[in-house]
A = this chain, B = another copy of it.
Amino acid sequence: MTNAPMDYDLLVIGAGPGGYHAAIRAAQLGLKVACAELGAVGGVCLNIGCIPTKALLHAGETMAASRHAGEFGMNFAAPSLDISKLNGWKDGIVKKLTGGVSGLFRANKVTHLVGQASFVDAHTVQVGDKTVTAKSIIIATGSEPAALKGLDVDQKFIVDSTGALDMPDPIPARMLCVGGGVIGFEFAHIYNNLGSKVKIIEFLPNIIPGADADAVKEFGKAMSKQGIEIVTRTKANSAKVVGNEVQVEIENVETGEKTTETFDRVLVAVGRRPRTHGLNLEAAGLHVTERGFIEVNRKMQTAAAHIFAVGDVAGNPMLAHKAMKEGLVAAEVAAGKPSEQDAVAIPGVVYTSPELAWVGLTEQEAKDHGYKVKTGVFPMSASGRAMTLQSTDGFVKMVVEEGSDLLLGVHIVGPHASDMLGEASLALEMAATASDVALTIHAHPTLGEAVLEAAEAVHKQAIHIINR
């Protein structure tokens, strides 16, 4: 590094949600910003993650809704399904959003550098065949799917989440999802609604690790009811494509019993790992942890104070909104602001129908933290609005500190659960009590009344259930 003026105030590496939020916020704050991206702007989230899955989920749910319409006398024949149009529609939304990010880069005067970024020294980065210098650097290189030994992804018969987004024609009759986490369940739901017979296998004793045990149980019940077969304490040892089928050896990890089952498509969704290969971190004096993450403090600074890391590469949970928040914080700190990632709670969502959505501590986590815990539960089956939406599976569960009445966590299974997270998240950040929620008028008839009633239930004063 010389004493020559730097090319940029800030170089962001990676244009996923973490990176593009950082780049745009830094530009808003007056910095001269470049963003290096080797692939498409928008990262995993816009291109092959959050967005295309939600598009397919909507299509699947429209199919399911047409089936349930018979209950109120609206009888649909099975629709014809133009799979290439479905894929095209999904891709169109992705294109609109990534095009939007490019437009925002231009409008905010963020220079988009095309190519793989690799550190030369702590202020110098090679991007493709260019070398650029920057006062601050934000690493936002995200993550990639973890591989599973014995299951070689061919993106046709054996797919990862990226391959699974390309809906095949015809829809596979038998689908196996290896991994009962968020991604596994979203795809299971999509394929199940579009006509596949779906089985999910999960190594751990519980699906959706990290979510509240009661909520997970309720969620699993709802998914099973829809025809998804869920098996825990089970793993896939190998998968072999034979003709147009996949033969999978499945093992019960408790009994050691092995069976071979045949599927038309197999999804491997067993987690993601941080992506730092090719970055040449050592040249900047940086290292990764045992699990491959780049360590940061609350200001998102790495061991080198002018280099930041945000998003999936900076640690769990690997979620887009965490990446966004961290991107904003890093950009603000780089611009001299006193920002910190001080979020009380990072929400999680499974965007199925019903949705599973939560924020804050699970009941068990709250107990583990030493809180004396009270809970309040209100079932969706007692919600008038849920009845009119034909979606009465689920509940709202509130975890509250006894005595102080402080809200610690909110766990929702139900229609539009993710929309109710707004209130729950704000309540946690504002250090609200259950009474604050219970005393707030909630419009009738809305699903949000279930949040109100769960808060009332904490005090044994819910109206629409018998409080015990």
Name the residue on B nearest A86 (C-beta). Answer: B73
Mask for A421-454, Cβ within 8 A of B = 1, else 0?
Answer: 1110111011010001101111111111101000
Which residues A58-95 have CB closer than 8 A to chain B? 58-59, 62-63, 65-66, 69, 71-77, 79-86, 88-90, 93
Q: Are A58 and B425 in contact (CB under 8 A)?
A: no
Q: Is A155 an interface residue (CB 8 A)?
A: no
Q: Are A384 and B422 in contact (CB under 8 A)?
A: no
CB distance from A72 to the nearest CB of B (A): 4
Q: Are B72 and A90 in contact (CB under 8 A)?
A: yes
Please give, as numbers and ranges, the residues of chain B lying within 8 Å of A72 by CB-CB distance: 55, 58-59, 85-86, 89-90
Please give, as numbers and ranges, the residues of chain B lying within 8 Å of A20 by CB-CB distance: 463
Q: Which of the candidate stretches A7-15, A222-230, A344-352 sits at the interface with the other chain? A: A344-352
Q: Is A116 an interface residue (CB 8 A)?
A: no
Name the residue on B nearest A425 (C-beta). Answer: B440
Q: Are A100 and B382 in contact (CB under 8 A)?
A: yes
Which residues A2-61 have CB closer than 8 A to chain B? 17, 20-21, 24-25, 28, 45-46, 50-51, 54-55, 57-59
Name the residue on B nearest A58 (C-beta). Answer: B388
**Given A384-B97, A423-B422; A24-B463 close (CB under 8 Å):** yes
* Central interface residue in A24, A54, A104, A357, by most chain B CB within 10 Å: A54
Please give, as numbers and ranges, the residues of chain B lying within 8 Å of A104 by CB-CB distance: 463-464, 466
Q: Is A319 an interface residue (CB 8 A)?
A: yes
Q: Is A188 an interface residue (CB 8 A)?
A: no
Q: Is A461 an interface residue (CB 8 A)?
A: yes
Q: Is A200 an interface residue (CB 8 A)?
A: no
**Given A357-B443, A439-B429, A445-B54; A81-B89 close (CB under 8 Å):** no
Q: Is A320 an interface residue (CB 8 A)?
A: yes
Q: Are B384 and A50 in contact (CB under 8 A)?
A: yes
Q: Are B65 and A62 in contact (CB under 8 A)?
A: yes
Q: Of the candidates B69, B81, B322, B464, which one forms a contact with A62 in the assembled complex, judged by CB atoms under 8 Å apart? A: B69
CB distance from A316 to the nearest CB of B (A): 15
Give the docked Cα–Cα distance between A370 and B399 (Å).
40
Name the residue on B nearest A342 (C-beta). Answer: B439
Please give, as numbers and ranges, the residues of chain B lying within 8 Å of A76 by CB-CB distance: 66, 76-77, 79
Q: Are A444 and B75 in contact (CB under 8 A)?
A: no
Q: Is A416 an interface residue (CB 8 A)?
A: yes
Q: Are A93 and B387 in contact (CB under 8 A)?
A: yes
Mask for A88-112, Cβ within 8 A of B = 1, else 0?
Answer: 1110010011001000100110000
CB distance from A118 to the nearest CB of B (A): 28
Chain A interface, number of residues (Cβ within 8 angstroms): 99
* Central interface residue in A57, A324, A346, A426, by most chain B CB within 10 Å: A426
Which residues A173-187 have CB closer than 8 A to chain B? none
Q: Is A306 an interface residue (CB 8 A)?
A: no
Q: Is A196 an interface residue (CB 8 A)?
A: no
Q: Is A273 an interface residue (CB 8 A)?
A: no
Q: Is A156 an interface residue (CB 8 A)?
A: no
* Central interface residue in A89, A388, A389, by most chain B CB within 10 Å: A388
Q: Is A419 an interface residue (CB 8 A)?
A: yes
Please give, as numbers and ranges, the residues of chain B lying within 8 Å of A17 by CB-CB distance: 444
Q: Are A84 and B79 in contact (CB under 8 A)?
A: no
* Central interface residue in A69, A75, A387, A445, by most chain B CB within 10 Å: A445
Q: Is A397 an interface residue (CB 8 A)?
A: no
Name the residue on B nearest A438 (C-beta). Answer: B328
**Given A74-B62, A75-B79, A384-B97; A421-B448 close (CB under 8 Å):** yes
Q: Are A461 and B321 in contact (CB under 8 A)?
A: no
Q: Are A59 and B74 in contact (CB under 8 A)?
A: yes
Please give, as numbers and ranges, the residues of chain B lying within 8 Å of A411 by CB-CB distance: none
Name the residue on B nearest A436 (C-beta). Answer: B430
Give the docked Cα–Cα distance between A382 and B100 (Å).
8
Q: Are A84 and B73 in contact (CB under 8 A)?
A: yes
Give the docked Cα–Cα distance between A390 and B90 (Å).
11
Please give, as numbers and ranges, the residues of chain B lying within 8 Å of A59 by CB-CB distance: 69, 72, 74
Q: Is A265 an interface residue (CB 8 A)?
A: no
Q: Is A467 an interface residue (CB 8 A)?
A: yes
CB distance from A82 to the nearest CB of B (A): 3
Closest 7 CB pairs between A and B? A73-B85, A73-B82, A422-B423, A419-B419, A422-B448, A72-B89, A54-B388
7 A–B contacts, CB within 8 A, in A order:
A51-B384, A51-B387, A77-B79, A357-B443, A419-B447, A419-B448, A421-B442
